[in-house]
Amino acid sequence: MVLNPFEVAKKQIDIVAEEMELDPNVTKYLKRVERSLIVSIPIVMDDGTLEIFEGYRVHHSTVRGPGKGGIRFSPEVTLDEVKALAIWMTWKCSLLNLPLGGAKGGVCVDPRKLSFRELERLTRRYASEIINIIGPDIDIPAPDVNTNAQIMAWIMDTYSMNKGRSVPGVVTGKPIEIGGSVGREPATGMGLYYVLEAMCEKLGLDLKTQKIIIQGFGNVGGTIAELLYKEGCKILAVSDISGGLYYSDGLEIDKLLDWTQKGNYLNDYKDNRYKKITNYDLLTTECDVLIPAALENVIIQKNANDIKCKIVLEGANGPVTPEADKMLFEKGIHVIPDILANGGGVCVSYFEYVQDIRAYFWELDRINKELKKIMLRAFEEVYEISKERNINLRTAAYIIAVSRIAKAIELRGIFP
């Protein structure tokens, strides 16, 4: 059975609402999104034929500030997936105490099947279709699955041309040359590293001696793999959409990154020492730290009992379902939830947004110092509440995040 991520997100709200005895009216409010836009994107392909793609942009909550959230291009994108991702962005921004709300977008397309010009036309038409609900004061998109700085540049340019002036603050994750921030690209991986380091310290573990498995080898998985490899950790296995590689003595991450950054798949990498492994088997391989950094709903009730690690560090959004979460907690496995663990990306996106608005740009040292401060402050708050209440880290994180949103709703009231 394919799990509906929107139903998972709503179930997570119910769990935390019960734990914190939340006002039922607020619970009802939080389980709905503010607005969902569905758009058709007609594109004349290079061969002259017309293709029509479907795109989405969703705002879950803007009670604490403009919406913030990525845009993904994937053939698996659905409206319910985008709704769930928008909800998780609300909690992420709230947990990090950023003055932003939750939003998300996506286009149902396989970008690998498009030429460079087709991809540009798709991006610009999508940006034009959602132009009325994005902007520095409304909703600020960013890169996500299969999108990057170039795609953000096209969105910024399309928006700017329609407004008659340059508006760099409409998106984050842009190239540095047109208002992007240093440190933005590796930010999610850096945040994962800071949180994992703090968790190991709490548990009395030496990070350098931990055996790591990472599902996903894109921007997030690749960055955290590189950081941990440089730290001296043994990376037992990594995977991408094609499958994974396993080596008990530890993979040579630098060579694998060089291979994949040239557009190659891990499955095509040749090294007789490495064993090929499926994405499913990778998750249940014994290790110390498991980092699901690909897509949602990969650790479910069916495989939760087979997870053999000390820490699950959620690099992806929603990789562990509520049922699996409960099972892992009962097994004594520490799950560092997505809204905390992978918050580094939105944190540095916020820094980029502030820099664009002020037209004053920071040095990398300041970016990393501010990122570390915000990530560790959030981690300490979550860890303390989890210990006080004897609850898992996700529920603790949700209590903090939902409390802030609930207070904002209470203070603003329900219009009219």
Task: Give tens-digit pLDDT for 56-65.
Answer: 999 999 999 9
Give the residue extent of every domain in the chain: 33-167, 187-339
Beta bridge partners of 43: 51
> What share of the chain has pLDDT > 70, as a percent?
100
Task: Give tens-digit pLDDT for 207-230.
Answer: 999 999 999 999 999 999 999 999
CA proximity to 134, closest of 60, 66, 88, 38: 66
Active-site position among 104, 174, 211, 234 = 104
Asked whether 88 and 102 are in contact (CB, 8 A), the reply is yes
Q: Do domains 33-167 and 187-339 have the same CATH topology?
A: yes
For 229-238, the CB contacts below 8 A with 24+ separation are 229/253, 229/254, 231/207, 232/208, 233/207, 233/208, 233/209, 234/210, 236/211, 236/212, 236/285, 236/287, 237/213, 237/277, 237/282, 237/285, 237/287, 238/213, 238/214, 238/266
Pick the CATH number of 33-167 from 3.40.50.10860, 2.40.50.140, 3.40.50.10330, 3.40.50.720: 3.40.50.10860
CA atoms within 13 A on the CB side of 351: 27
Per-residue model confidence (pLDDT) at position 184: 96
Asked if residue 158 has pLDDT above 70, the reply is: yes
> What share of the chain has pLDDT > 90, as a percent?
98
Task: Give tens-digit pLDDT for 252-279.
Answer: 999 999 999 998 999 999 999 999 999 9
CA proximity to 51, closest of 106, 115, 135: 115
Mean pLDDT of the chain: 97
Task: Give tens-digit pLDDT for 20-48.
Answer: 999 999 999 999 999 999 999 999 999 99
Task: Give tens-digit pLDDT for 313-334.
Answer: 999 999 999 999 999 999 999 9
The residue behind tokens 């060089």 is: 258
Per-residue model confidence (pLDDT) at position 252: 97
Helices 364-389 and 187-203, axial angle in degrees (round to 10): 40
Per-residue model confidence (pLDDT) at position 90: 98
Residue range 280-305: average pLDDT?
95
CA–CA dist 343, 371 (Å, integer): 9
**Coil, strand or helix at 165:** coil
Task: Give tens-digit pLDDT for 348-369.
Answer: 999 999 999 999 999 999 999 9
b/e sequence 3-23, b meaning 16+ C-beta within 10 Å = eebbebbbebbebbbeebebe
Per-residue model confidence (pLDDT) at position 3: 84
Structure tokens at 112: 């690998």
CA–CA dist 224, 334 (Å, integer): 18
**Strands 275-277 and 243-246, bridge-based pairing:** antiparallel
Per-residue model confidence (pLDDT) at position 375: 98
CA–CA dist 209, 189 (Å, integer): 19
Task: Give tens-digit pLDDT for 8-17.
Answer: 999 999 999 9
* Band of pLDDT at residue 295, cut at 50, 70 and 90: confident
Asked if residue 290 has pLDDT above 70, the reply is: yes
Asked if residue 232 has pLDDT above 70, the reply is: yes
**Coil, strand or helix at 131:** helix
Asked if residue 2 has pLDDT above 80, the reply is: no
Per-residue model confidence (pLDDT) at position 11: 94
Element (H, E) at 24: helix 24-30
CA–CA dist 246, 229 (Å, integer): 15
- 217: Cβ–Cβ under 8 A, 6 or more apart, which residues? 225, 238, 239, 240, 256, 260, 266, 293
Q: Which CATH superfamily is domain 187-339 in?
A: NAD(P)-binding Rossmann-like Domain (3.40.50.720)
- The yes-or-no answer on residue 372 being catalytic is no
CA–CA dist 293, 221 (Å, integer): 5
Per-residue model confidence (pLDDT) at position 1: 63
Structure tokens at 134: 């994005």
Residue range 69-80: average pLDDT?
97
Asked if residue 400 has pLDDT above 90, the reply is: yes
Residue range 246-254: average pLDDT?
97
Alpha carbon 150 to chain centroid, angstroms: 19
What DSSP line would sit under 285-317, residue for residue? Answer: S--SEEEE-S-SS-B-HHHHTT---SEEE--SS
